[in-house]
Structure 1
Amino acid sequence: MAFHEVRFPDAISRGARGGPERRTQVVELASGDEERNASWANSRRRYDVAYGIRRADDLAAVVAFFEARNGRLHGFRFKDWADHKSCLPSGTPSPLDQPLGTGDGVRTAFQLAKRYASGGQSWTRAITKPVAGTVRVALGGTEQLSGWSVDTSTGLVTFGSAPAAGIPVTAGFEFDTPVRFDTDTLDVTLDLERLGSIASIPLLEIRR
């Protein structure tokens, strides 16, 4: 099993359907009350990209991509057009968008992350597939144009020298979601005009 650092075609992913999934156990008591327990600490995203196929050429591109990944065997990058930036979808990533941690004078590596907040609650998602050339980093509110690097296959930002104690580390970026096909079969239907269609092409986020 391997991960291929290649992105699913943008023209097709733009029309995909899907989003985050949670796993919650709900037990209904005899009184009618219920108890709820989260089975997963983190969400997992599911998509169906069949909705993005509009032409015969799109169909051919998906079949080729599927074959090159060996079905479910190898993972790949996917652009979730509803959630692919450290800021709002309509905005431009800023180096102040997301907190990565606080310097302690020793630590040099920080994981890219995105925080989702509503009311007094929040959840932080590790970002492992940033888009090359989009990552911007700041220390104490000042953008750093050098002195750091980012591994686009893991999302790990590494500084040449450790940020001083108490200094906030922040970043802005675009990112992809690591996924795999959730089927080993593409059921292609050829219509009368020979354009062809596929009823469903499920993708599942890879969590490590």
Structure 2
Amino acid sequence: MRNAPLLLAALVAALSTTTASAQHMFKCTNDKGQTTYSDRACEQAPRPAPPAARPAVATAPAAKASAPAAAAPATSSNSAKAEPITKLTPAVVEAVLQRAVDLGDRKDYRGQCALAAPDLNFKLTDHSNSPPSVYSGGRGDICALQQQSAQAMQAGGLRSSTRLNKMDIRVSADGTQATAKYESAAAISMEGQHALTMQCTREEVLGLYSGTVLYKRVTAVCRPVG
């Protein structure tokens, strides 16, 4: 029988991408002209180099006249502007899922809870035990599970590293909702040594809430291997 810290580690791995990935995403353009997606506002484009220094003005009145112009704020017509996501696409959803992996592996349960949709509901079937354990409920329930699991994992000195596979993303015609089906594999280590891998089959529904991408529904079936 597996020990309790490892079972809790497996649970936090299963929960790691459940609500962590809800983010206000921005569509940006990198220095190569390629479109990218990020949870942070786009960086400003490099400002043009200042013009070469002009010779000193001979008369005092002319120098005073130039002062207001020098004090005026520079325009930023070349600055890149952040463009909030107003319509879901497979690329946006995939970026959100990848972001979730980072938050989950960092055991950021506060961030996960804060980014769950108010009407989220979930069902997690965990085959770490026999018979399997089933967890279900709403936003408050999953927040409590995430906190318990993350704290137990932290106390046990356990780490997780998660990867996503076999991703299938379908977006509604109006771009306000998306369904993602995929597999996740979280490798759990203890004191630098591999302990087990938690594999999950997932189906998740994401939606737009006032311009923010949040999880609406989550179903996951997970089992430890190795």
What is the TM-score when the length of structure 1 is the normalising length? 0.26
Q: Which has the larger radius of gyration?
A: 2
Scaled by the length of structure 2, what TM-score is found? 0.24
